[in-house]
């Protein structure tokens, strides 16, 4: 499709000529995220400055029935920000302010383009803690975190994005601006529109402000890296730690290839991995009393020593801790630097992790692909990177999707679901029938129609074969 000159003129009048772009280079730049190698350029990129300008843009889009895709930091892995029907690419990058840190009520009000790590550091300076920490927190934005209900390493103890969202300012597809809730910790007043928006992947409205809950900052933590000789035993140890009465602040799984590839990618990380080690758990406990943390660490040791493990590494300094976290957070980059890949985001009850990992490897053997698995084992969230390597393009396009469907079927059979934190977006939508009946999907589609009867906002996402 192409946009009429009068539409470009209307959009220019809203955002100004310096914030509207029709050149192919800019359109391509805003036409991709971190999802494989997809590029879907919009016809025009607009960069509004505030809620009112976004509302005006959406009124134009709704009047002319122009597909409009909210575009954030483009760090997503499900294609949620791809303009698959062209139209308007609506970048929120100019809405990047921390509006207020309310120290008395432990709340913060932010705009959507605030980088997650920037927010975490800003509140930490005041002794406060925003726990949500996706691996891409140095580049991803709060708005995208809310749209995808992002998690991260510390979700196991502190929860995911939805657990910290109190209230949202949202521009609806028809251009109306609403607040979805109240700045209160409890709210039983009508339907919960705030939580409906969280995880809606930009299909129901454009988030322009968020009021987030904060916690007091813990002052101490203990971090250990536990090598296992058998990958399935590393998965078994996850549930065993919780059954022993310990709730870690992070519990991450990395299989051997994930570690090896990342150590090659970052040759300044000094971690020795013996030949017979198949997997690692990165385990953190945090709190305010070091003596209690050491007791918890000792209890964790009694659990993991029931399995076949190598020497446990305790991070003694902040530099060592940072190096271990860099190792974990760099896995996706390292895999991407080695090969074209597809990343799937499975999640199961944590006790089912060993069966999930074993099943993924069997499916890979059946369909001829290698997988590199890692993730937030403490909450059952396993990322599965399927490696193209020297696979033919035909095999990659025809056989691998069948294998991915079997992985999701296995995941659902283990009482899990398709995504723990990456969302459905464009790339997973045709697997939704595995997790949901037609009744479920019709209910969701009905909600979409109420908010967006003209289907202008982020069309082609979530629902199969839209």
Instruction: Determine the average pLDDT of the residues in 155-159.
Output: 97
| pLDDT tens readout for residues 299-328 | 999 999 999 999 999 998 999 999 999 999
Q: How far apart are CA 375 and CA 384, in angstroms?
A: 8
Instruction: Determine the average pLDDT of the residues in 409-437.
Output: 97
Instruction: Determine the average pLDDT of the residues in 190-212.
Output: 98
- Report the pLDDT value the prediction gives residue 184, as an integer from 0 to 100: 98
Taking the whole predicted model, whether its pTM rises above 0.85 is answered as yes
The answer for residues whose C-beta is within 8 angstroms of residue 114's C-beta and 6 or more apart is 96, 97, 98, 141, 142
- Look at residue 197 and tell me whether its pLDDT is greater than 80: yes
| pLDDT tens readout for residues 340-379 | 899 999 999 999 999 999 999 999 999 999 999 999 999 9
CA atoms within 13 A on the CB side of 423: 27
Widest distance between CA atoms in the chain: 71
Burial bucket for residue 465 (CB in 10 Å: 0-12, 13-18, 19+)? exposed
Instruction: Determine the average pLDDT of the residues in 228-250.
Output: 97
Asked if 180 and 95 count as a contact pair (C-beta separation under 8 A), the reply is no
Mean pLDDT of the residues in the chain: 96
SS3 395: helix
Residue 466: which pLDDT band, with cuts at 50, 70 and 90?
A: low
- Report the pLDDT value the prediction gives residue 267, as an integer from 0 to 100: 82
Residue 335: which pLDDT band, with cuts at 50, 70 and 90?
A: confident
Instruction: Determine the average pLDDT of the residues in 142-151.
Output: 98
Q: How far apart are CA 90 and CA 74, in angstroms?
A: 12
Radius of gyration of the chain (CA): 22
The answer for residues whose C-beta is within 8 angstroms of residue 270's C-beta and 6 or more apart is 323
SS3 25: helix
């Amino acid at each position: 499709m192409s946009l009429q000159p009068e539409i470009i003129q209307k959009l220019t009048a809203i955002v100004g000529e310096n914030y509207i772009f029709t050149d192919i280079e800019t359109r391509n730049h805003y036409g991709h995220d971190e999802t494989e190698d997809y590029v879907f350029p919009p016809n025009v990129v607009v960069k509004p400055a505030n809620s009112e300008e976004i509302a005006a843009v959406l009124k134009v889009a709704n009047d002319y029935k122009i597909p409009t895709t909210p575009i954030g930091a483009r760090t997503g892995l499900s294609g949620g920000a791809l303009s698959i029907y062209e139209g308007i690419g609506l970048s929120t990058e100019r809405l990047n302010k921390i509006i207020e840190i309310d120290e008395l009520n432990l709340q913060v009000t932010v705009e959507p383009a605030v980088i997650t790590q920037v927010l975490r550091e800003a509140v930490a300076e005041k002794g406060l803690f925003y726990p949500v920490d996706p691996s891409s927190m140095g580049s991803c934005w709060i708005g995208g975190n809310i749209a995808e209900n992002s998690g991260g390493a510390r979700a196991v103890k502190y929860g995911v994005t939805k657990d910290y969202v109190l209230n949202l300012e949202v521009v609806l597809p028809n251009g109306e601006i609403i607040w979805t809730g109240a700045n209160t910790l409890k709210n039983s007043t009508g339907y919960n529109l705030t939580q409906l928006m969280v995880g809606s992947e930009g299909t129901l409205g454009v988030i322009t402000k968020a009021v987030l809950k904060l916690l007091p900052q813990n002052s101490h933590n203990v971090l250990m890296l536990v090598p296992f000789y058998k990958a399935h035993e590393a998965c078994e140890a996850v549930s065993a730690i919780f059954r022993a009465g310990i709730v870690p602040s992070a519990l991450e799984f990395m299989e051997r290839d994930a570690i090896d590839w990342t150590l090659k990618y970052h040759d300044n990380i000094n971690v020795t991995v013996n030949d017979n080690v198949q997997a690692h758990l990165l385990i953190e406990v945090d709190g305010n009393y070091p003596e209690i943390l050491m007791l918890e660490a000792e209890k964790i040791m009694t659990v993991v020593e029931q399995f076949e493990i190598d020497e446990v590494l305790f991070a003694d300094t902040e530099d060592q801790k940072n190096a271990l976290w860099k190792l974990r957070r760099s896995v996706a980059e390292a895999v991407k630097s080695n090969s074209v890949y597809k990343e799937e985001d499975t999640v199961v009850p944590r006790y089912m992790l060993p069966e999930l990992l074993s099943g993924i490897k069997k499916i890979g053997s059946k369909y001829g692909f290698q997988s590199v698995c890692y993730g937030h084992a403490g909450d059952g969230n396993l990322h599965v990177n399927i490696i193209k390597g020297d696979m033919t393009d035909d095999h990659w396009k025809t056989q691998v999707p069948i294998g991915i469907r079997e992985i999701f079927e296995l995941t659902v059979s283990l009482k899990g679901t398709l995504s723990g934190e990456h969302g459905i977006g464009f790339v997973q939508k045709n697997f939704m029938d595995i997790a949901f009946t037609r009744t479920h999907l019709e209910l969701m589609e009905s909600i979409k129609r109420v908010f967006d009867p003209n289907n202008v906002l982020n069309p082609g996402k979530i629902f199969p074969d839209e």
